[in-house]
């Protein structure tokens, strides 16, 4: 079984839901992130734009809850299915920094 599942991405916080708490009392928040960049692919440049669904738990969730939409971020985390039986993905944040993209 492969163990690498790490994502680092510069993004803008598009929207975030209200901070909630899991049944175990852990802070949780869901958000949408937007990424725009120029990437090299097949010896050429390509403009890339996408939106990602993301979630955060614990202290990271509380910190995200204090940010306003439009905040530039550098996000680190891993990918997992959005829902247990779903096929779409979610970025689970393990840390982030506020930046000037």
- The string of pLDDT tens digits covering residues 9-66 is 999 999 999 999 999 999 999 999 999 999 999 999 999 999 999 999 999 999 999 9
Domains detected in the chain: 7-98 (2.40.50.140)
Sequence-separated (6 or more) residues with CB below 8 Å from residue 57:
22, 26, 27, 28, 92
Q: Are 64 and 94 in contact (CB under 8 A)?
A: no
pLDDT of residue 2: 74
pLDDT of residue 9: 97
**Interval 64-84: pLDDT, tens:** 999 999 999 999 999 999 877
């Amino acid at each position: 079984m492969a163990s690498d599942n790490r994502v680092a991405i510069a993004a803008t916080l598009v929207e975030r839901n209200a901070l909630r708490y899991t049944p175990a009392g852990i802070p949780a928040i869901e958000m949408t992130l937007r990424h725009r960049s120029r990437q090299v692919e097949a010896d050429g440049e390509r403009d890339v734009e996408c939106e990602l669904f993301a979630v955060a738990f614990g202290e990271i969730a509380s910190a995200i809850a204090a940010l306003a939409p439009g905040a530039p971020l550098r996000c680190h985390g891993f990918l997992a299915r959005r829902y247990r039986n779903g096929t779409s993905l979610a970025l689970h944040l393990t840390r982030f920094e506020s930046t000037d993209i």
